[in-house]
Amino acid sequence: MKRFFSALLVLTALLACFSLTGMAEPVEVHGPRPADVSTIISVADVPLITLNNGVQVPQLGLGTQIQSLERDNGAADRELLNNTSHDAVVAALQAGYRHLDTAHGYFNERGVGQGIIDSGMPRAEIWVTSKLWPSEYGEGVTLAAIDAMLERLQLDYLDCIYLHHPAGDYVGAWKDLEKAYRQGKVRALGISNFDNWMDAFNAIVDDMEIKPQIMQIEGHPFAQRLETRTLAEKYGIQVECWYPLGHADDRLLSNDVLSAIAEAHNKSVVQIILRWHMQEGLVAVPGSTNPAHIQENIEIFDFELTDDEMVQIRALDRGEAGRYFNIDYQRMGGFFTTLNE
């Protein structure tokens, strides 16, 4: 009988360690963790979406990549890039955004972090995402890269960290992300562009202890990614779209169907596209450095698209042919060199 109760106590302890992933999650940190201070709330009517681990993400965010300024011509270029990103972040947070998306590969984390501070908005109310570069992947390597990322952003924790591309030692990187998650350095784990290499997707989703909460993919009315979205739903993974405005392609922004719907609602085509994302249940992170455009992008919660209008927009889907970005990672995985910041 004594052995029975001892075994029962052990079983109870093991069950208590099971996480929402359905796998045992060792407890590595006792007491308050950095991320425990988070108090994400809905601001400016932006809905919150609950991820598979229970944390909530604002459905609309600001993408901070500024490709035209990502030149590496010295400190002056990097200063301009970070200053521009800083000003965009301040404008967005003051307009009601509470979701910011950056990456080490954007070379602007310092500007984004300082923008958060200078905005005067409570950091605990802001969802901040960044992404690790493939040269930062690997057990031990990734944990150090996360600490460096937090230092650049001047933050104690991140709300989400993505593996930016399915190249390099993404399995080792994910194991380190799991450690950072348990330590409270990050509240959600994500994969970006892993839809482009299913071997990498399966290695993370099927074999790792903690499953992704969110995945970033290219998504917009010309590339609605129905197959990938169905796959994500199967695993309980939220889809977030970069290029939600189709890389500002004039063929999309001047589309007759979208223009007619915009006129009917007295809105811009951009607002119609972003509203479509919201009603599809997608998270979207449109990028802009123009304060007027940043404001316009968030003014999409005072109207709804009709069922018929949603059908019309869904009919614009061109499948994979509608995409603007598609890398063969199996052939080009060695492209990703070490970042110099």
H helices present in 132-222, as ranges? 141-153, 170-182, 198-207
Catalytic residue among 106, 157, 243, 329: 106
d(CA 290, CA 165): 28
- How far, CA to CA in Å, does 328 sit from each of 25, 67, 238? 34, 21, 24
d(CA 333, CA 241): 22
Alpha carbon 331 to chain centroid, angstroms: 25
The DSSP secondary-structure symbol of 193 reads S
- Angle CA 322–326–330, to nearest 5: 150
Strands 56-58 and 48-50 come out as: antiparallel
- How far, CA to CA in Å, does 10 sit from each of 38, 47, 209? 33, 42, 21
Burial (CB < 10 A; 0-12, 13-18, 19+), residue 5, is exposed
| Tokens of residue 13, six digits | 């302890």
Which residue is associated with the tokens 């409270």?
A: 184
CB within 8 Å of 303: residues ≥ 6 apart: 265, 267, 275
The residue type of 100 is L
Beta-bridge mates of residue 186? 158
Active site residue 181: no
Q: Which residues are the active-site residues?
A: 106
